[in-house]
Structure 1
Amino acid sequence: MNKKNIAIVAGGDSSEAVISFKSAQQIAEVIDRDRYNAYTIFIKGTDWTVKQEGKADIAIDKNDFTFVEDGAKTTFDCVLMMIHGTPGENGILQAYFDLIRLPYTGCRTFTSALTFDKYATKKYLEGEGVDMARGFMFRKGQQVDADALVEELGLPMFVKPNASGSSFGVTKVKSVEQLQGAIDAAFTEGDAILIEESINGIELGNGLIKTPSKALVFPVTEIVPKTEFFDFEAKYTSGMSEEITPARIPEEVTERVQELSSHIYDVLGCRGIVRVDYIYSNDKLYFIEINTIPGMSQASIVPQQVRTMGLELRDVLTLEIEDAIERF
């Protein structure tokens, strides 16, 4: 069997680059080497390079996403997207790969752009009757009436960037005096922010992948942070959160989560592996966000769910890669 060349694309231009590197390392370790030759490509700004252990970096030719080593040109059969944040999760790279006709894993250009915008996604899903926290979006330069917000949303409330992940720039605000600092922090990650009510409940995450031939909806994970909320420290510092898979919720609720995740996946036109996050409160599932390129490090939630399901991450990645190639 001729091996296919796979480009594991990592890095990016956001604060999430460090998480992307960890995901790419995990993917490179577990990808099926009997099927694929895997190359890790780091992207930062206009610097696109092939990283090979013990060798000098090699520049990628952006005309066709190839590279030349020792006089031989290497082309790719598929890109495995592992950039969290811009430009790999928001549709920018997806549009580039569409233009040069190179298959890639994950959501296509429109869905990537839509789901990266939290406010747009919420508005899109509200029309489908999906419950979510009340909130408002503000752009840089807009005035924020702190007292009116507190009256409308109550305290505590969350301030977060509209287009960012890994909880960078997210603050749980407990007093009016904290609000401006939280707004400033959120604006460091982008030019739009969300301010939302805080809902007390159980935080849940549910990964899945659906192809024309197979649908895998993974077990639900219950997230119990030891910090104020599931922030960057809780997500990526050992011992700072407890992630329980399967979640300690009734089976009926688990089924509701999985059915809703599957519905959201279809409505948004997702492809590849995604993770949908919720708050379960007063017998309601409140949508938080969807991650179209979820973390894939050893500590990440989706790999935990795959293991709990009794599957190998290697095989799930193969499903994703082959589906991307077949459907391109």
Structure 2
Amino acid sequence: MKIGVIYGGNSNEKEISIKSLENVEKSLKNLGYNYEKFESNDIQLHEKIINKDLILNIVHGEFGEDGKLQGYLDIFDKKYTSSPSETCNICFDKYLFYNIFFEKLNIPKMIKTDKYINPPFDFPLILKPRRGGSSKGIYIIHDQSNYKKYLKINIDTFGDTLIQKYVKGREFTLSIIEKSGEFIILPLLEIIPKNEFYDYNAKYTEGKAKLTINHEVHKNYKKQIENIFFTLREVLCFRDMLRIDFIISEEKIYVLEVNTVPGLTKLSDLPISANAHGINFDKLINIFINNHIK
């Protein structure tokens, strides 16, 4: 079996993709797979993928996570890890996701803008890019001065910016993997960041966040968690892996976003939850590959 590993690209999450690659390569070598790696912006990408049986997609951010790479691979009828193009596009576009699911799930209210508007919610409030991941461009805003400053930064940097109502509560992330056509809900991970929230620095700097498997909360909210996943699956088609980030506040789960190409670094949430379920990293990669072997 010939495996292609696509990584990197031009997004602002390229460095995370490279870190994911380091882990994935070790596992592919341990498992004895024949593989070749190449960057997603390689001008010879078509020539390199054409004879591959499976593409492992570890491109985070634009192109790899927004459905474009998936659509490109579909053109050449290539098997690949991660959800189909339509699902990736909806999950990557937070405003589109909000408009599809705001009546079906508890999602903090938000407004989209590409220019300055007066704060639509009381402080504190959240600013975030419409598209993107790894918490880049996300700010908790406490006053008018910072609101004006960071709204301009985000509009200049990312274009469409979301202004979201702040929900105070405990942060959690739920990872789910597919194995032979069945989905496994992994143990719930509670995130206790040393920073104000689980920002980019806290996600990828060792010691900046405490990640704890919380079986008690998972048990208490098991029905709500299952209903959230059921609601998502009624509309979206998931494959291989996904991660749902949410906040629990006043006994309600508020969904923040769904990630279809979660990080696979040493500090990433999904591998930690999988390991707590008895699935080490080598087994995890093998599961994703076996999903596409008939």
Higher relative contact order (CA 8 A, sep 6+): 2
- Please name the residue that 1:229 is paired with: 197
Answer yes or no: is the 8 Å Cα contact 1:204–1:222 preserved in 2.
Answer: yes
- Please name the residue that 1:77 is paired with: 53
Structure 2 unaligned residues grouped into runs of 5+: none
User: Identity, % of aligned pairs?
Assistant: 25
- Please name the residue that 2:100 is paired with: 124
The one of 39, 45, 65 equivalent to 2:49 is: 65
Answer yes or no: is the 8 Å Cα contact 1:204–1:247 preserved in 2.
Answer: no
CA displacement, residues 27-55 of structure 1 (integer Å, 9 cap, x when unaligned): 111237545212221234xx35xxxxxxx
Deviation of 1:8 (Å): 1.4
What TM-score do you get using the length of structure 1 for normalisation?
A: 0.84
Looking at structure 2, the residues matched to 82 and 10 of structure 1 have their Cα atoms a distance apart, in angstroms, of: 5
Looking at structure 1, the residues matched to 155 and 215 of structure 2 have their Cα atoms a distance apart, in angstroms, of: 34
Deviation of 1:63 (Å): 4.9
Do residues 112 (structure 1) and 88 (structure 2) align?
yes
- Please name the residue that 1:53 is paired with: none
Looking at structure 1, the residues matched to 33 and 233 of structure 2 have their Cα atoms a distance apart, in angstroms, of: 28
- Please name the residue that 1:39 is paired with: 36
Aligned with 2:172: secondary structure? Answer: strand
Do residues 93 (structure 1) and 69 (structure 2) align?
yes
Looking at structure 2, the residues matched to 215 and 274 of structure 1 have their Cα atoms a distance apart, in angstroms, of: 10
Answer yes or no: is the 8 Å Cα contact 2:6–2:56 preserved in 1.
Answer: yes
- Please name the residue that 1:243 is paired with: 211
Looking at structure 2, the residues matched to 27 and 198 of structure 1 have their Cα atoms a distance apart, in angstroms, of: 36
- Please name the residue that 1:296 is paired with: 264
Answer yes or no: is the 8 Å Cα contact 2:187–2:218 preserved in 1.
Answer: no
Structure 1 unaligned residues grouped into runs of 5+: 49-59, 67-74
Looking at structure 1, the residues matched to 109 and 45 of structure 2 have their Cα atoms a distance apart, in angstroms, of: 46
Question: Following TM superposition, where does structure 1 have runs of at least 4 consecutive aligned residues deviating by more than 4 angstroms?
Answer: 32-35
Looking at structure 2, the residues matched to 266 and 247 of structure 1 have their Cα atoms a distance apart, in angstroms, of: 26
Letter in 1 for 2:192: V
Looking at structure 1, the residues matched to 178 and 234 of structure 2 have their Cα atoms a distance apart, in angstroms, of: 9
Looking at structure 1, the residues matched to 268 and 180 of structure 2 have their Cα atoms a distance apart, in angstroms, of: 26
Distance 1:232 1:111, change over 3 A: same
RMSD: 2.0
Structure 1 or 2, whichever has the larger Rg, is 1
CA displacement, residues 40-84 of structure 1 (integer Å, 9 cap, x when unaligned): 21234xx35xxxxxxxxxxx3525625xxxxxxxx2111111011
The one of 11, 16, 23 equivalent to 1:14 is: 11
Deviation of 1:303 (Å): 0.5
Looking at structure 1, the residues matched to 268 and 81 of structure 2 have their Cα atoms a distance apart, in angstroms, of: 18
Answer yes or no: is the 8 Å Cα contact 2:31–2:282 preserved in 1.
Answer: no
Deviation of 1:6 (Å): 1.2
Distance 1:242 1:250, change over 3 A: same
What TM-score do you get using the length of structure 2 for normalisation?
A: 0.93
Answer yes or no: is the 8 Å Cα contact 2:116–2:151 preserved in 1.
Answer: no
Deviation of 1:237 (Å): 1.1
Do residues 30 (structure 1) and 27 (structure 2) align?
yes
- Please name the residue that 1:194 is paired with: 162
